[in-house]
Amino acid sequence: MLYVKAPAKINLTLDVLYKRPDGFHEVEMVMTTVDLADRVGLKNLNNGQILIHSSSNFVPDDQRNLAYQAAKLLQDTYNIKDGVSITIDKQIPVAAGLAGGSSDAAATLKGLNILWNLNLSIDELAELGAKIGSDVSFCVYGGTAIARGRGEKIEHIATPPSCWVVLAKPTIGVSTAAVYGGLNIDGVEHPNTMQMRQAIESKDYELVCDTVSNVLESVTLKLHPEVAVIKEQMSRFGADAVLMSGSGPTVFGLVQNKARVSRIVNGLRGFCDEVYAVRMLGERDILA
């Protein structure tokens, strides 16, 4: 069994620029990986089947699963006759805005590249990932990047200043389609992506905190007031910056003072079952 780590991501900024002719939205966002990860195990099968086993009942075990789609894409593209048993040990909350499914797909691409001796470069794997989902290309690389297009055009940038990240996910599901559908692009304050880049490159933690922004927040907060409650509580307990990740519902707080982390986590547990305190990773994966 070959094991590959599949880290979660957060959006330090998320901007939606316009709706494209193909129906997708043109985005510009700064994403970075955090030290909360699924563990994807891959075992070769000589019968051509793709089997999914997950520790979570909420993860589909068929062609709806992005890891399944990653394996099938490699089979079809490179005429692979072997199959694979994919075991996903879920640590990232499901449907949380943290790219858990996309990261599992990216880990599957990277692992099968080794298992099936494909010798593909990381750029080739990222290009394949773009065919599976918007966040998969970023998850192939990991680290910190500005993502544009549908999220598949990746520009790598420096590692953010070191800090703790407190994640809190309420027990609700959010429809990404409904959130994007409810967005009035002209009526929102757009993030300053270039200022975030400058803050990260100059390791200016305070400016990073001042610049976090997500245009989808206004829609999700209206649809799901629970998310607003978690944001308010996280700020009240002392996080330096608080933002929703992706289309939600997970909220994250940036914290530099370690002593404050446990206070925030303990305070949030009264409002939310799934609370995690992790470090920001921010550095690119190397291709094994």
Q: Active-site residue numbers?
A: 9, 135
Q: How many CA atoms lie within 13 A of 262 on its CB side?
A: 2
Q: How many CA atoms lie within 13 A of 27 on its CB side?
A: 25
Contact 140, 152 (CB under 8 A): no
Contacts of 79 (CB under 8 A, 6+ apart): none
Q: How many CA atoms lie within 13 A of 131 on its CB side?
A: 13
* Cα 105 to Cα 84: distance, rounded to the nearest angstrom: 13
* 153: amino acid identity, one letter: K
* 185: amino acid identity, one letter: I
Contacts of 270 (CB under 8 A, 6+ apart): none
Contacts of 245 (CB under 8 A, 6+ apart): 9, 10, 11, 96, 97, 98, 167, 214, 251, 252
Q: How many CA atoms lie within 13 A of 23 on its CB side?
A: 1
Quote the tokens at residue 242. 């608080």
* Cα 163 to Cα 174: distance, rounded to the nearest angstrom: 28
